[in-house]
């Protein structure tokens, strides 16, 4: 098949892990005879340096014309005090492409039990799919930033809530049939709306699914004490951001968590959950597997290439079983070595 993929390498380890994803696309194209037209565009701090904007108009236009977009990571200390932040570019592209559902799978594997700070007996059979709302809530509300006072408004409409609930419910039907909705309904008005909508949507459309409600503080605890009891976890933007970094440590490293950001139409955005990791950038230390697993999500969910995605995932897991991995997982390889180990299993 022919497909246009736009790469947004970004900052810090972003370009390093994007290189790994690109190599995976090239290897899959070669093995299956696909014609991937892969181009690159500026995003984040790199884009601010080159153009003054974190999401230049040319980048957005290229993404809108693509079949799928891959992003490395954005941000870093260099831009922490600048007027425009690299992260604004990421929020802007999510909004502009209508990517309201951010799917973040956290799946443990016996080869990684030692890399997790959680006891191995809790990690068996953990397979969680977080459906994080991505274009609403406190991230996108009005804000005021003063030297003596500041505020961020958190708002949700029923429509914004419903569409991600439907996405989560459809996922649960294709999995183990359970949805956990996480909120702070004992304090927040927005959370109480989330709860009412969840009750209504599930009663009307998904009475066959098991539905659980958790307050976010308790959810953070249950994720560690009984992670295997979760199937699909659906939640608002901010809680989903926080809980998925926590879930990454069940798997063993933030460098293992991929993601897919999807809307109702148009290209999806696929990116590792981790950031630009300034502490290890430019040292060939970054784990490329979250990026390569995000590339697999792009193949499957962005291009409909399920078999190709499975080949890539199998190659990553075979490397983990052979301990061909980076130091965050207790391995001895660098970013490039771990990438090469995956490629060798594809070609
Ligand atoms: P981070 O995710 O960059 O790093 C947190 C810790 O995890 C660091 O110790 C880092 O070395 C480690 N880590 C992250 N990815 C790794 C990988 N692939 N392999 C091995 N170790 C890895 O989070 P942070 O330090 O809080 O943020 C740094 C910058 O990244 C900030 O500017 C932040 O805004 C940005 N950020 C961007 C994204 C994104 O672009 N999607 C996501 C999160 C954070
Ligand atoms: C993520 C990141 C982003 C978020 C930041 C960089 C805006 O932490 O993708 O998890 O909070 O959504
Ligand atoms: Mn995050």
Coil, strand or helix: which one is 159? helix
* Closest listed ligand to the CA of 271: 1
**Are the C-beta atoms of residues 132 and 304 closer than 8 Å to each other?**
no
Q: Is 86 annotated as a binding residue?
A: no
Residue closest to 8 by CA, chosen among 24, 29, 22: 22
Q: What is the DSSP letter of 113?
A: G
Is 184 tagged catalytic?
Answer: yes
| C-alpha of residue 32 to centroid of ligand 3, in Å | 33
Task: Judge: domain 1-97+267-347, CATH 3.40.50.720.
Answer: no
Nearest residue by C-alpha to atom 13 in ligand 1: 277
The architecture (CATH level 2) of 107-256 comes to 3-Layer(aba) Sandwich (3.40)
Nearest residue by C-alpha to atom 37 in ligand 1: 275
**Separation of alpha carbons 109 and 91, rounded Å:** 32
| Per-residue pLDDT in tens (0 to 9) along the chain, 347 residues | 999 999 999 999 999 999 999 999 999 999 999 999 999 999 999 999 999 999 999 999 999 999 999 999 999 999 999 999 999 999 999 999 999 999 999 999 999 999 999 999 999 999 999 999 999 999 999 999 999 999 999 999 999 999 999 999 999 999 999 999 999 999 999 999 999 999 999 999 999 999 999 999 999 999 999 999 999 999 999 999 999 999 999 999 999 999 999 999 999 999 999 999 999 999 999 999 999 999 999 999 999 999 999 999 999 999 999 999 999 999 999 999 999 999 999 99
pTM for this predicted structure: 0.98
Ligand 2 pocket list (CB less than 6 A): 75, 87, 90-91, 241, 273
Q: Where in the chain is the domain with CATH 3.40.718.10?
A: 1-97+267-347, 107-256
């Amino acid at each position: 098949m022919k497909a246009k993929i736009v790469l947004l390498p970004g900052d810090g380890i972003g370009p390093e892990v994007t290189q790994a994803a690109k190599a995976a696309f090239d290897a899959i194209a070669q093995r299956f005879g696909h014609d991937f037209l892969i181009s690159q565009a500026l995003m984040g701090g790199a884009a601010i340096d080159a153009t003054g904007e974190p999401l230049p108009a040319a980048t957005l236009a290229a993404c809108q014309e693509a079949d799928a977009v891959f992003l490395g990571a954005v941000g870093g200390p260099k831009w922490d005090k600048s007027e425009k932040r690299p992260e604004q570019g990421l929020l802007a592209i999510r909004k502009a492409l209508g990517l309201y559902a951010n799917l973040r799978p956290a799946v443990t594997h016996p080869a990684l039990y030692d890399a997790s700070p959680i006891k191995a007996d809790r990690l068996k059979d953990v397979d969680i799919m977080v459906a994080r709302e991505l274009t609403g809530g406190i991230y996108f509300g009005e804000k005021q930033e003063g030297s003596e006072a500041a505020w961020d408004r958190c708002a949700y409409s029923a429509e914004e809530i419903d569409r991600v609930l439907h996405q989560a419910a459809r996922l649960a039907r294709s999995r183990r049939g359970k949805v956990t909705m996480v909120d702070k309904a004992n304090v927040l008005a927005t959370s109480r709306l989330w709860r009412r909508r969840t009750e209504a949507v599930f009663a009307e459309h998904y009475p066959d699914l098991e539905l659980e409600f958790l307050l976010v503080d308790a959810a953070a605890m249950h994720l560690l004490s009984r992670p295997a009891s979760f199937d699909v976890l659906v939640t608002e933007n901010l809680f989903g951001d926080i809980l998925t970094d926590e879930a990454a440590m069940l798997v063993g490293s933030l460098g293992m968590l991929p993601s897919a950001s999807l809307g109702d139409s148009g290209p999806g955005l696929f990116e590792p959950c981790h950031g630009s990791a300034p502490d290890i950038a430019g040292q060939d230390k970054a784990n490329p597997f979250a990026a390569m697993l995000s590339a697999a999500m792009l193949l499957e969910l962005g291009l409909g290439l399920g078999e190709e995605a499975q080949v890539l995932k199998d190659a990553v897991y075979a490397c983990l079983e052979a301990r061909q991995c980076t130091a965050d997982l207790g391995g001895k390889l660098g970013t490039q070595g771990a990438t090469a180990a995956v490629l060798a299993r594809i070609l």
